[in-house]
Amino acid sequence: MYQKNPSSIIKHIDFMILDLVCFLLSLWLAYGLRLNELEIWESQIYRSLMIIIALVHICASAFDSAYKNILRRGYLKELIAVIRHIVIVMAVMLVLMFFLKTLDALSRGVIAYTAVISIIVIWLERTIWKKFIHHRLAKNPRYLLIVTDKAGAERILNQFQGQMLDFQVKGIVLVGKDYKAVDSIQGIPVVASVETLTQYLLKTVVDEILFSVPRKEDLPQDLIRECSLMGITIHLEIMSSDELAGARYEENIAGLSVMTSYLKLITAGQAFVKRAIDIVGSIIGLIITGILFLFVATAIYLSDPGPIFFSQERVGKNGRTFKLYKFRSMYQDAEERKAELMEKNQMKGQMFKMENDPRIIGSGPDGTKHGIGHFIRSTSIDEFPQFWNVLKGEMSMVGGKDIIGTTSETTDFTRVLAV
């Protein structure tokens, strides 16, 4: 699922909200320092001032593009941007208060203190928050492949230099004979040729591919469509977009004009609503999980002393792995005992399933009893800890069936799906 690039005000709404909080906090501190009082909300004139500041701040943020390229600014540029924003907000606020004939009721000292304090506080807030965002982007990057020739790779990498990118270039796929002669370009490894690209995608994590090929003939027929149908976001710089599958639109990536295609395209608003539903739903689910834990943990421990939770590696979006959590419903030696029961396996391949599985807690030697393990599995209670994965953003509360085939624990939790 690919999120279309929103406008700067929507993309950086977190900065707008944090700035507003810091602005109002600065007004409160200025009020306390100048008038030796902290109950600013008891003054009608200053309550009105807070509302005006909030409205002017939001309007100035939207129409003045206050947050455009904010993640790329250095300390000095950010300080200048903060001063500019504060001056605009304070100037408009004073004009409005003048026309409302309430300017004389305000303390000049409070206004001056507010301006100075807000510059310092908002600059510090933006600096700290940007460091947090940079750390988060570095920890969970979007991986990009570049498919082009040697000259195109040099040009694109030069374009990327010095820019704050929200993706990481994982490798280069060279077209033509350049693939055999070049191992890396500007420190970025050449990872495949166009002929081996699909095989490479099957064994590594790739989120997006940028195709920049001068001649359409340099790519195998339907390669772009095949990559797009694999669920990978496709950016096409030069070639015709006829091969793209799914939704498409034009955007700018670090100064490059591209046509972007993805099978599931969502807007910033849709992504916000989706994530909000996941957060609210997972919090409610975790509260229920906590209540269930009191009873389920006791039953599991009394039946088979040991860990209450079971975890296993899962493959999520574009090959990323994450650790999924469940209430343990099998004995601790279930994996070792599986080898003894392989002849009773009712599934093909690496999947393992049998009707009367003695490895389930409380199932008895022949697996015919239905104890605590069967109960929490049949009621899907064992799946409730997965709400923790939803809260972390590793899974989403959408329809679908999650199938596990390589471990002794299986799931039929249809309320969540790896994203």
For the stretch 217-257, pLDDT in tens is 667 767 888 887 777 888 887 544 444 555 555 666 766 77
pLDDT of 11 > 70? The answer is no
How far are the Cα atoms of 150, 258, 342 from residue 335, in angstroms, in the given order?
50, 49, 11
Distance CA 180, CA 200 (A): 16
Any residues with CB less than 8 A from the CB of 289 and at least 6 apart, and which? 384, 385, 387, 388
Element (H or E) spanning 80, and its range?
A: helix 75-99
3-state secondary structure of 315: strand
Instruction: Report the C-alpha gap between 134 and 1 in whole angstroms.
Output: 22
- Whether the CB-CB separation of 71 and 133 falls below 8 Å is answered with yes
Burial class (CB in 10 A: 0-12, 13-18, 19+), 181: exposed
Amino acid 202: pLDDT:
82
Residues ≥6 apart with Cβ < 8 Å to 105: 45
Q: Give the residues across from 211 on adjacent strands.
A: 147, 236
Average model confidence (pLDDT) across the chain: 78
Nearest CA to 2 out of 198, 281, 277, 228 is that of 228
Task: Compute CA distances 90 → 39, 48, 49, 57, 94, whole Å.
Answer: 22, 14, 11, 9, 6
Q: State the pLDDT at residue 366.
A: 64
Contacts of 175 (CB under 8 A, 6+ apart): 147, 148, 149, 193, 194, 213, 218, 219
pLDDT digits (tens, 9 = 90+) for 330-379: 887 666 666 566 656 555 555 556 666 777 787 776 666 778 888 888 88
One-letter identity of residue 310? F
> Considering the chain, what percentage of its residues have pLDDT values greater than 90?
18
Q: What is the pTM of this model?
A: 0.52
CB 143 within 8 A of CB 166: no
**Measured distance CA(372)–CA(360) in Å, rounded:** 9
In the chain, what percentage of residues exceed pLDDT 70? 74
DSSP strands (E only) in 163-219: 167-174, 184-185, 188-193, 208-212
Summarize the confidence of residues 94-100 as an average pLDDT.
87
Whether the pLDDT of residue 90 is over 60: the answer is yes
**What does DSSP assign to residue 386?**
G
Task: Report DSSP letters for 216-267, one per residue.
Answer: GGGS-TTHHHHHHHTT-EEEESSS-STT--SEEEEEEETTEEEEEEESSEE-
Confidence of residue 417 (pLDDT cuts 50, 70, 90): very low
